[in-house]
Chains A and B, each alone.
Chain A
Amino acid sequence: MTQPSGPHDLGGLDAGPVDLAEKDTAYWEWQIDAMIRLALQKGLLTDFAELRDGIERLAPEDYEKLSYYERWARSLAYALVSKGILQQADIDQTIAALRQRQAGR
């Protein structure tokens, strides 16, 4: 078998039994889903391939650890920061503010 081309290239690898449990989609996951669609619509992302590229750049241990929509968030952050649409410092500040708001509830 050929070597996997990245952490996303899973076809044919050894893996365990499939977990058949149904999982609800949390509201924040719908929000990330919607944000990606809007980012594409508004041209913040050129196309879906750009988002996939960011996911495929993840370190294998991150890819495995992160949930589906967490990977999307990571990839969108990478794209928006590298294009200068958002600044990393603003993102960090906003995360801190979100944590504070959560703690205050």
Chain B
Amino acid sequence: MGDHHDHSKTFQPDHPEPTSDDALLGLALRELLIDGGYFTAAEEQAVIEKMQGASPENGGHIVARAWKDPEFKARLLDHGSEAIKELGFDLSPTEFTVLENSRSIHNVVVCTLCSCYPRALLGMSPAWYKSKNYRARVVREPRQVLAEFGVELSSEVEVRVHDSTAELRYMVLPQRPAGTEGWTEQQLAALVTRDSLIGTQRTLTTG
């Protein structure tokens, strides 16, 4: 293969090198597709930066707006995909539905068949979300699984489990913590955690 060593073939320093057969399979495909002119290393870099830029702060922004603005909240719960466009987020063609928690209802999200997740709003999904144990059990014994996350629900609280699909993504609208009257949208957004948007955390704390 000679000494030529362009950017597309350089392993990134400071990152563990992949050694498994199938990780190398992935990198081999990447190299062949770049060499074949199907995409460039610069295009790849742009996609990675965009995906790394998405984080639960985006979801937190949507939640904080809904807490502050009842009309936005109504639109959000009515048709999430349309309402989030007002804040500059667009998941189309995927449908997006927001699930409101209340004193008597707790929502939790899973994707039993693969690992569908609103990445543009929540960033990279946690490893447990993609794990067999979460996907298998949360639909059958949600209370036990939630207890493993430290969420203890009284029997009066109804648990609703929502199974995502390739065409439909969900996000939970957690309850606004008491004592936050008069807080700015930015202050409220900072309270929102990734797990509260998935439903594996119920109570948000004001520190």
Given B29, B31, B114, which contacts A8 in the complex, CB threshold below 8 Å? B114
A27 touches B12 (CB 8 A): yes
Distance between A1 CB and nearest chain B CB, rounded to angstroms: 9
Specify the main secondary structure of chain A where it touches its partner.
helix
Contact B135–A10 (Cβ < 8 Å): yes
Indicate whether A38 reaches chain B with its CB closer than 8 angstroms.
yes
Also in contact, A19 and B131, with CB within 8 A (given A34-B48, A90-B32): yes
What size tier do the contact residues of chain B reach? 35 or more
Contact B28 A91 (CB under 8 A): yes
Contacts of A80 in B (CB 8 A): 29, 33
Q: Confirm or deny: B157 has a beta carbon within 8 angstroms of a beta carbon on chain A.
A: no
A19 to B145, CA, bound (A): 11
By the criterion CB–CB under 8 Å, are A19 and B114 in contact?
Answer: no
B28 touches A13 (CB 8 A): no
* Most A CB within 10 A of own CB, among B28, B36, B113: B28
Q: Give residues of chain B (95-149) contacting chain A, Cβ–Cβ below 8 Å.
A: 110, 112-115, 124, 126-128, 130-137, 139-140, 145, 148-149
**B residues in contact with A67, CB < 8 Å:** 20, 22
Number of interface residues of A (CB under 8 A): 62
Roughly how many angstroms separate A8 CA and B115 CA in the complex, as a whole number?
10
Contact assessment for A8 and B113 in the assembled complex, using a CB-CB cutoff below 8 Å? yes
Complex Cα distance A102/B28, Å?
13
Partner of A19, one of B23, B133, B136: B133
For A66, the closest partner residue in chain B by CB is B22
Q: Is the CB of B47 within 8 A of A34?
A: yes
Shortest Cβ distance from residue B149 to the other chain A in the assembled complex, whole angstroms:
7
Residues of chain B lying within 8 A (CB to CB) of residue A17: 133, 148
Residue in A12, A30, A71, A105 whose CB lies within 8 Å of B51: A30
Query: Is A61 an interface residue, CB under 8 A from the partner?
Result: no
Q: 8 A-B contacts, Cβ less than 8 Å apart? A: A9-B113, A21-B128, A32-B30, A35-B26, A35-B29, A85-B36, A101-B11, A102-B19
